[in-house]
Amino acid sequence: MSSSTSVRTDAPAVVLTGITKRFPGVVANSDVHLTVRTGEVHALCGENGAGKSTLMKILYGMQPPDEGTIEVNGEQVRFKTPADAIKAGIGMVHQHFMLADNLTVQENVVLGAEALHGIGAKARRKIQELAGQTGLNVDPGVLVEQLGVADRQRVEILKVLFRGAKVIILDEPTAVLVPQEVDELFATVRGMQEQGFTFLFISHKLDEVRAIADSVTVIRRGTTVGTADPKTVSSRQLAEMMVGSELPSPETRTSTVTDIPVLTVSGLVLSAPDGRALLDSIDLVVHSGEVVGIAGVEGNGQTELVETVMGMRKASAGTVTLGDDDLSKLGTLARREAGIGYIAEDRHRHGLLLTQPLWFNRILGYQTRKPTAKGAWLDREGAKRDTERIVEEFDVRTPGIDVPAAALSGGNQQKLVVGRELAGDPKLLIASHPTRGVDVGAQALIWDEIKNARARGLAVLLISADLDELIGLSDTIKVMLRGRLVADADPSTVTPEDLGSAMTGAGSTSAAVHEEGEN
Amino acid sequence: MRRRMRGIAVAAIALTSVMSMSACAKDSGGGSAAQNNSGGSGCEYAAAPPAAPAASTSAGAGDKVDGSALKVGLAYDIGGRGDASFNDSAAAGLDKAVSDLGVKKENVKELTAAPNEAEDAKQTRLRQLATDGYSPIIAVGFAYAESLKVVAPQFPNVKFGLIDAGVEGAPNVTALTFAEHEGSFLAGVIAAYQSKSCHVGFVGGVEIPLIQKFEAGYFQGAKAAAPKIEIEKKYLTPAGDFTGFQDPAKGQEAAKGQIDKKADVIYHAAGASGKGVFSAAKEAGVKAIGVDSDQYNQATVANEKDVIVSSMLKRVDVAVYTFVKAVAKNDLAALPKVFDLKVDGVGYSTTGGKIDDKLKGILEGYKAQIIEGKITVKDAP
Amino acid sequence: MGKLRGNLLPPALAIVFSALLCGLALVLSGANPLKAFGAMVNQVGEGSTAVDIINSTGIYYIAALAVAIGFQMNLFNIGVEGQYRIAAVVAAIFGGSVALPPGIHSLAIIIVAAVAGAAWAAIPAILKVTRGVNEVISTIMMNGIALGVAAYLIRRDVFGELRGNNIRTPEIAESGWVPGIPLGDNGTLFGLVFLAIALGVGYWVMMNRTRFGFELRASGESATAAAAGGVNAKKMILVSMLLSGAIAGLVSMPEILGRDHTYNLNFPGGIGFSGIAIALLGRNHPAGIAFGALLWAFLDKSGLALDNVGVPREIVTIMQGTIVLSVVVAYEVVRRFELASEQRRVGRELASAGGAA
């Protein structure tokens, strides 16, 4: 915002042209264009899974692009390893710190770069010289384990400076910081910017982007959709760029909501090991035939809410009831048996056994029930028959049910998961980002299936970062912020930007959003 | 449930710590530690028995025996030729048979056991030798006892010799056993007279009955010579884990621990681990007593040989040689039942000159008393 | 077809590779590798070697199954070594001190061995579930403790009795023996080799047909997905460790009930560690493990012939080591190759069907 113009030149520091990266079954980046001018703070925005991380890994030499070129300071380069990128003056500060707690600041900084300034007094002088620029005011001899999160982040920045970086990639740097620390970080960034450093700032938080960036490039579904000046563009425009507007509409306006409560959550509390409340007295009711959407910036407790309702995390207080059954004391399997279907937010980590065949995956979560089990024995034939049915009904594109799940594309994997979780007539479906990372066709099909199930009386708890999806599918939207449900929104009237400002805690700007307790 | 599991875990931990404590408990003799260090020799010695002339009955010297027709097989225990101890001693007896009895070199076969091998591997080894026409076959070590029980009846015409054990009901197996406790008794006397602090140590390789014989004799001998002596003991591994015979580092550690407690003469019965005992003794400037062979002369411990005051000789070489000779003469009945002090099957070495004539006189006195039966040496602690 | 190739190719490559490597080592040390391998093959026909190999295969097979159950859910039970030793000494003491009718006596000893093995495995399992103690560390330590406990139990003042210079548990009465199949000079086949076969079949059925096996495999494949699928991780750890320990407890049963009738100082060690290598070699598959155990036993027993031709027997150990190492590498290489080709194949089939992947 208040960026100085003295050092900025028009020679671009980094130019990415036509970058394309394919992974088996999915295109992570396609025809990405990005120009970062020297001395600016350039934000790269996009939803999770939009392809930001892949792009940064390519720029940092961790993965080679399949197509496209990288230019640094006007010269075309080809990075085989991060070491090449570091040599070209590009440094990366990862979201998850890569520090050895039991070593000192100096040792952490020097580790792996001993050749530059040695490991003794010379290195120490260099570190002290650079430390000021990062705002790090501790002795280099202090152990990293004694530092707080913000200081650790400065040590990470110090590490890349020590290696001579001029272009610094900050990967979601604010995710781990509290608001005051975010302000300090931004001050540091601006200070360094004055000295000629260039920043590539990765984030999906629009307010932060607008606060710090000189220009912003939006990436959606693997490709860059445009670059804008954050001072002139509105949040609404940015949000539209991020979520897109060409999507098939998830709209459903015939209400099927009944007054039969299916899921009742009351007073649910989940505490982190350090005593912090990850979930703070959550009260929530989902009725039969109702889709309740949870909106929120990622990391505000949505994952924890879902996993606590599923019994994968142990609640510190509160009750979860399904129909008339109190589930609070039950394990995950018993909750599933009681009638909950669960589409996990990360199908690779939570939804599928990737090297196992499709029919084997059909059994997961249903190992005690028909048609996949009979008592202590598996019913392999039943599982295979039902997998055939899912493949047919949900249009899973596969040559057969014996191929490993990993061989399918993301969309087809997700269709299999959705088919499985809707099998056996659940009373409640918990759908966490059900269409993340899938192609448009699969997305439309999954939306249709959720709508159909809702019409049959299914209760759905929907978590999504895709605001259009959320608004289109939900009968009720609740906004989640720092582990609490802070506002309700009416999906028939609310706009993505209203929702966006409610999600960041900026307060309601629309009649469609009601602060909790207001009505 | 959770609490109960924790209870079990705690109990288990408590149990193991009790066990490890009992394993560490040392055996202290009467009297307190090193009462009068300044006096040069801190021990009050019991009255030594009268010196007796060294009466050697070196087995059947003189008569010429021709063994050139024999095919001799040897199955060693773990370590084999080159262990600077037990197996090497057997090898020496074999070498002597080659040089003195005219056994042809090409008619000799030596095989070695692997650590932790199964019973059938031992059987196969013996069977291989027997099938290839070797007779006599000498199995070195009691570990072959069970195997011979199976294999010997399958080859009734083959003469088997078994070191350190016998096999019931197998007439073609000759037991070649030793009175290690008697030799160790003398080692104990030597230790007592060599100690300045009246505090000595014993390092055993593996806590098995065979090694406990060494321990029992040593303790009895040391206490007979100096009733108030303190004795440390340590076994390197428990029964069942035979690595204790092959771990010089462990031997060194154990010896060092005893030296730290002021023991200044350490006797080991730990096979190849004994090398570590010698190293520890050399480092601390104390003395050690070797075992089985005359270790002062052994190349593998040449660096540490000046700490070796004596070795308890277990004449496996004599047993092997005499056995081969008896087979050549076809006179197995003449073999001694037990290779003891009387037949010089066990004894002590004086190489290196650390045993003066006075001590030698005392030792011969004790030896005579044991041979005459005036002293009975226990063979178990 | 493709699947079979993926499973058989790596071990075949690994064996060839390690044979070449050992051949090279032999040539370098001045020995004739063909003569050495020839001696090993010929040894199979000598005396009781063939039967010894089968007996030993059975024993290794049981040990490797015990390890494989843990492997299925990424539990590294290094403690098979200690578990079978404890089970052997406890079962031998039990068998030697009770009088029961034939059949029942043997069965009781086998059950005691399984329970003792499971109990010994329960300690690291409970530590892991309640305290998060890594089972690798705890089972290694339990191995050391097992040695000490076994040595204590066979002391003369506890349960042991002295036989010459050997020390052993009281001999099990004939009613407790499991007779073998005598084959004259070729030795005696242990009756309990059939126990190994039964365990293998049971293992296969459990892994492929039961809910427990499914949950075990799911946990091993992806702990997170298993948790989301309702698999209770702690329960699985506990049950699979106990099961692994129980099977480990049976390792020494063929020898004790079929030949030795007692636990003594000559009790063979190291079978648990061989079991780890064999389970790796056999990819936790019951047939693969059988093959691995057979290979292991063959190398072990016919390796004895190498001394006869003047080749150091240690070459067998080198060979066993290189086989395991190269098989692990080969599986990984083939696995990646197969996955990539599978994805290409699916992509191709879908493309030709006109759909978009």
Q: Is residue C224 part of a domain?
A: yes
pLDDT band at A121; cut points 50, 70, 90? confident
Question: What is the pLDDT, as a whole number, of residue B89?
Answer: 87
Torsion of CA B99, B105, B108, B113, to 10 degrees: 90
> DSSP class of residue C190?
-
Residue C346 has its nearest CB partner, among A344, A378, A403, at A403
Continuous segment of H or E residues that includes residue A240: helix A235-243
Question: What is the pLDDT, as a whole number, of residue A445?
Answer: 87
Closest CA to B318 of B118, B81, B39, B60: B60
- Could B238 and C150 be called an inter-chain contact, meaning their C-beta atoms sit closer than 8 Å? yes
Residue A353 has its nearest CB partner, among C212, C222, C353, at C222
Q: What would the two tokens of residue C83 be?
A: 């578990």
Question: What is the pLDDT, as a whole number, of residue B282?
Answer: 93
Half-sphere exposure of B361 (CA within 13 A, CB side): 7
Q: Please write the tens of the pLDDT for every residue from A486-498.
A: 888 888 888 777 7
Residue span of the structural domain in which C163 resides:
55-282
Beta strand pairing call for A198-203 and A167-171: parallel
Domain A12-243 sits in which CATH superfamily?
P-loop containing nucleotide triphosphate hydrolases (3.40.50.300)
- Residue B45 pLDDT > 90: no
Closest CA to A449 of A418, A491, A403: A418
Report the percentage of chain C scoring pLDDT > 70: 94
Give the separation between CA A369 and CA A335, rounded to whole angstroms. 13
Taking contacts as CB-CB distances below 8 angstroms, the residues of chain C near B204 are none
Closest CA to C227 of C215, C238, C239: C215
Q: How far is B352 from chain C (nearest CA, A)?
A: 32
Question: What is the pLDDT, as a whole number, of residue C94?
Answer: 95
Question: What is the pLDDT, as a whole number, of residue A4?
Answer: 41
Subunits with 3+ C-beta pairs closer than 8 A to C: A, B
- Could C225 and A439 be called an inter-chain contact, meaning their C-beta atoms sit closer than 8 Å? no
From residue B38, alpha-carbon distances to B35, B189, B196, B265 in Å are 9, 21, 9, 17
Q: Please write the tens of the pLDDT for every residue from B56-69.
A: 544 444 567 788 88
Q: How far is C253 from chain A (nearest CA, A)?
A: 29
Give the separation between CA C303 and CA C313, rounded to whole angstroms. 6
B-C interface (Cβ pairs under 8 Å ≥ 3):
yes
Q: Under a CB-based contact definition with an 8 Å cutoff, are residues C26 and C315 in contact?
A: yes
Q: Is residue C250 part of a domain?
A: yes
Residue A167 β-bridge partners: A90, A198
Residue A377 has its nearest CB partner, among C209, C227, C343, at C209
Residue C214 has its nearest CB partner, among A355, A367, A408, at A367
| Residue of A361, A391, A397, A402 to mutate, interface with C, max C Cβ within 10 Å | A397
Question: What is the pLDDT, as a whole number, of residue B294?
Answer: 87
A231 touches chain C (CB under 8 A): no
What's the order of all strands across the beta sheet hosting A484-489? A340-343, A428-432, A459-463, A291-295, A476-481, A484-489, A513-515
Continuous segment of H or E residues that includes residue A489: strand A484-489
Give the separation between CA C121 and CA C129, rounded to whole angstroms. 12
A-B interface (Cβ pairs under 8 Å ≥ 3):
no
Burial of C170 (0-12, 13-18, 19+ CB in 10 A): middle
Q: What would the two tokens of residue A203 be?
A: 């984030």
Q: What is the 3-state secondary structure (H, E, C) of A448-476?
A: HHHHHHHHCCCEEEEECCCHHHHHHHCCE
Give the separation between CA A293 and CA A283, rounded to whole angstroms. 14
Q: What is the mean pLDDT of residues B134-140?
A: 92
Q: How far is A121 from chain C (nearest CA, A)?
A: 40
Residue C179 contacts by C-beta under 8 Å, 6 or more apart in sequence? C191, C258
Q: Do domains B72-178 and B180-314+350-381 have the same CATH topology?
A: yes
Residue C222 has its nearest CB partner, among A335, A349, A407, at A349
Q: Do domains A12-243 and A261-515 have the same CATH topology?
A: yes
Lowest-pLDDT choice from A290-299, B23-32, C4-13, C332-341: B23-32
Q: Please write the tens of the pLDDT for every residue from B249-296.
A: 999 999 999 999 999 999 999 988 999 999 999 999 999 999 988 888
Closest CA to A99 of A91, A110, A88: A110
Q: Under a CB-based contact definition with an 8 Å cutoff, are residues A340 and A461 in contact?
A: no
Measured CA angle at B14 (ends B13, B15), to 5 deg: 90
Taking contacts as CB-CB distances below 8 angstroms, the residues of chain A near C211 are 367-368, 373, 375-378
Residue C343 has its nearest CB partner, among A24, A312, A380, at A24
List the domain boundaries for chain B: 72-178, 180-314+350-381
Question: What is the pLDDT, as a whole number, of residue C4?
Answer: 60
Closest CA to B289 of B314, B307, B263, B262: B307
Q: How far is C117 from chain A (nearest CA, A)?
A: 25
- Residue A207 pLDDT > 80: no
Taking contacts as CB-CB distances below 8 angstroms, the residues of chain C near B174 are none
SS3 label, residue C231: coil
Closest residue on chain A to C205 (Cα): A377
Q: Is residue C318 part of a domain?
A: no
Q: What would the two tokens of residue A198 be?
A: 């260039």
Q: Under a CB-based contact definition with an 8 Å cutoff, are residues C288 and C7 in contact?
A: yes
DSSP string, B57-103: --TT-S-----TT-BEEEEE-TT-TTSSSHHHHHHHHHHHHHHHH--
**Amino acid in position B118:** A
Residue scoring higher pLDDT (A22 or A306)? A306
Give the separation between CA A334 and CA C229, rounded to whole angstroms. 10
Give the separation between CA C93 and CA C154, rounded to whole angstroms. 9
Q: How far is A332 from chain C (nearest CA, A)?
A: 5
- Could A356 and C227 be called an inter-chain contact, meaning their C-beta atoms sit closer than 8 Å? no
pLDDT band at B4; cut points 50, 70, 90? very low
B116 touches chain C (CB under 8 A): yes
Question: What is the pLDDT, as a whole number, of residue A57?
Answer: 84
- Could C224 and A334 be called an inter-chain contact, meaning their C-beta atoms sit closer than 8 Å? no
Domain A261-515 sits in which CATH superfamily?
P-loop containing nucleotide triphosphate hydrolases (3.40.50.300)
pLDDT band at A27; cut points 50, 70, 90? low
Give the separation between CA A268 and CA A286, rounded to whole angstroms. 15
Burial of B57 (0-12, 13-18, 19+ CB in 10 A): exposed
Q: How far is C351 from chain A (nearest CA, A)?
A: 10
- Could A404 and C342 be called an inter-chain contact, meaning their C-beta atoms sit closer than 8 Å? yes
- Could A376 and C210 be called an inter-chain contact, meaning their C-beta atoms sit closer than 8 Å? yes
- Could B146 and C264 be called an inter-chain contact, meaning their C-beta atoms sit closer than 8 Å? yes
User: B72-178 in CATH: which number?
Assistant: 3.40.50.2300
pLDDT band at B144; cut points 50, 70, 90? very high
Subunits with 3+ C-beta pairs closer than 8 A to B: C
Taking contacts as CB-CB distances below 8 angstroms, the residues of chain A near C215 are 367
Give the separation between CA A261 and CA A287, rounded to whole angstroms. 4
Residue C211 has its nearest CB partner, among A332, A367, A441, at A367
Question: What is the pLDDT, as a whole number, of residue C162?
Answer: 80
Q: Please write the tens of the pLDDT for every residue from A74-113.
A: 888 888 888 888 888 898 888 777 888 888 888 888 887 7
Domain B180-314+350-381 sits in which CATH superfamily?
Response regulator (3.40.50.2300)
Taking contacts as CB-CB distances below 8 angstroms, the residues of chain B near C56 are 118, 120
Taking contacts as CB-CB distances below 8 angstroms, the residues of chain C near B127 are 46-48
Question: What is the pLDDT, as a whole number, of residue B252?
Answer: 94
Q: Which residues in chain C come in under a pLDDT of 70?
A: 1-6, 343, 346-357
Question: What is the pLDDT, as a whole number, of residue A247?
Answer: 46
Q: Is residue C4 part of a domain?
A: no
Question: What is the pLDDT, as a whole number, of residue A23?
Answer: 66
> DSSP class of residue B135?
B
B21 touches chain C (CB under 8 A): no
Cα–chain center distance at B95: 20
- Could B2 and C149 be called an inter-chain contact, meaning their C-beta atoms sit closer than 8 Å? no
Which residues of C touch chain A, with CB atoms under 8 Å apart? 208-215, 217-218, 221-222, 224-232, 339-340, 342-343, 345-347, 349-350, 353, 355-357
| Residue of A314, A378, A421, A433 to mutate, interface with C, max C Cβ within 10 Å | A378
From residue A385, alpha-carbon distances to A364, A400, A407, A411 in Å are 15, 12, 20, 22
- Could A364 and C225 be called an inter-chain contact, meaning their C-beta atoms sit closer than 8 Å? yes
Q: What is the average pLDDT score of chain B?
A: 83
Q: Under a CB-based contact definition with an 8 Å cutoff, are residues B266 and B289 in contact?
A: yes
Cα–chain center distance at C32: 32
Report the percentage of chain B scoring pLDDT > 90: 43
Instruction: Write out residues 282-341 of A within 8 Å (CB-CB) of C.
Output: 310, 312, 331-337
- Could C123 and B207 be called an inter-chain contact, meaning their C-beta atoms sit closer than 8 Å? no
How many domains, in total, are found in chain C?
1
From residue B69, alpha-carbon distances to B72, B111, B333 in Å are 10, 21, 20
> DSSP class of residue C278?
H
Closest residue on chain C to B212 (Cα): C165
Closest residue on chain A to C235 (Cα): A331
Closest residue on chain A to C335 (Cα): A355
- Could C346 and A380 be called an inter-chain contact, meaning their C-beta atoms sit closer than 8 Å? no
Distance spanning both ends of chain A, measured CA to CA? 38
Q: Under a CB-based contact definition with an 8 Å cutoff, are residues C254 and C55 in contact?
A: yes
Q: Is residue C203 part of a domain?
A: yes
Which ranges constitute the DSSP H helices of B207-247? 209-225
Torsion of CA A315, A318, A321, A324, to 10 degrees: 140
